Amino acid sequence: MHITRLLPAMLACAALQTASAASPPITADLAKTQGFRQAYQAMVTLPSWVTTAHATSGPVSDFTLGGKSYFLGYMCRPHDCAAEQLEVVFAKDHSAAWGLLSIKQDGPLKQDFLGAPDAEMQKVLLKAYKANNPAD
């Protein structure tokens, strides 16, 4: 008699467990999970020479865009400028910086904009990359 009363509750629990097992994981939880955490960190991590600015570089040039003044510079991974480089624009008023990280390793050129540059600033960064890499 007790089993017949418990049976509906047991079936409901089993149905809930099945439903929760069938639902997909939450993205943020997956990014924190062993295995996925390493892949996620690799995706969001910049090369150390970029984050520390321990790089080969030269003098900046200055330019004006939309009435504002900027510095434009270039850095690259020490001893491997052909493989990893970064064009950088600094607002002279210290309000912002933008970059174009370019990496060429065992495959096609991979480029990522940093600092969310608008379309005009992206053009500046791409033009600087082409000027620094005339063979590309």
CATH of the domain at 83: 3.40.1420.10
101 plus 124 within the same structural domain:
yes
Instruction: Return the bridge partners of 76, or none.
Output: 56, 85
52 and 38 assigned to the same domain: no
Per-residue model confidence (pLDDT) at position 1: 47
Give the structural domain span for 17. Answer: 2-44
What pTM, to 2 d.p., does this model score? 0.75
> What pLDDT, on the 0 to 100 scale, is given for residue 9?
53
Q: Are residues 73 and 105 in the same domain?
A: yes
Residue 19: the pLDDT is 47
Cα end-to-end span (Å), the chain: 81
Residues 8 and 65 occupy one common structural domain = no
Q: Are residues 40 and 82 in the same domain?
A: no
Judgement on whether residues 53 and 108 belong to the same structural domain of the protein: yes
- Same domain for 67 and 24: no
- Residue 52 and residue 99 share a domain: yes
Examine the domain organization and report whether 76 and 18 are in the same domain: no
Q: Structural domain tally of the chain?
A: 2
Are 68 and 25 in a shared domain? no
Tell me, yes or no, whether 38 and 73 share the same domain. Answer: no
Q: Specify whether 54 is located in the same domain as 94.
A: yes
> pLDDT tens for residues 65-90?
999 999 999 999 999 999 999 999 99
